[in-house]
Amino acid sequence: VTGYRRSKEVSEVLCLRAKESHAVPSSVLQLGDIGISSEPGASVPDDDFLVILLRACMHLNLYPDADWAVSVISVDQCCNKIAGLALDNLEEKFGAVPEEVKGKLIAWRELYGWVGAELGLR
């Protein structure tokens, strides 16, 4: 179990305990990979891990043959979800129950296939 996983589990338990013991409302959002804006002309962040990995694959003209998938949600979709949660102020959304906020799950091979087809990679 990773440190990230442990800290995530601890924070979820703390939110639930705060709700049960002290009626503190909280919303636990499990965010997927947050990507660039969906607006035309948005720039790609150079320090994003997925961008770094894809660029390395393109440079090497190779990619890992892995059963891995990515779930990228645009930054504006993510902001809309969080703002909607706050503005709707629905009690059932603040029950400290984890909720996934993710984009469509895309298999790594499919993602690399799209990039590879565009750039003539193998």
pLDDT, one tens digit per residue, over 73-109 is 888 988 998 898 888 878 877 888 888 888 888 898 8
How many residues are listed for the chain in this entry? Answer: 122
CA distance 114 to 66: 16
Q: Which of 75, 81, 80 is nearest to 101 (CA)?
A: 81
What's the pLDDT at 122? 57
pLDDT, one tens digit per residue, over 2-41 is 888 899 899 999 999 999 999 998 888 888 788 878 888 8
CA distance 76 to 47: 19
Question: E-assigned strands of the chain?
Answer: 29-31, 33-35, 69-74, 99-101, 105-107
Domain positions in the chain are 3-119
Diameter of the chain by CA atoms?
A: 58
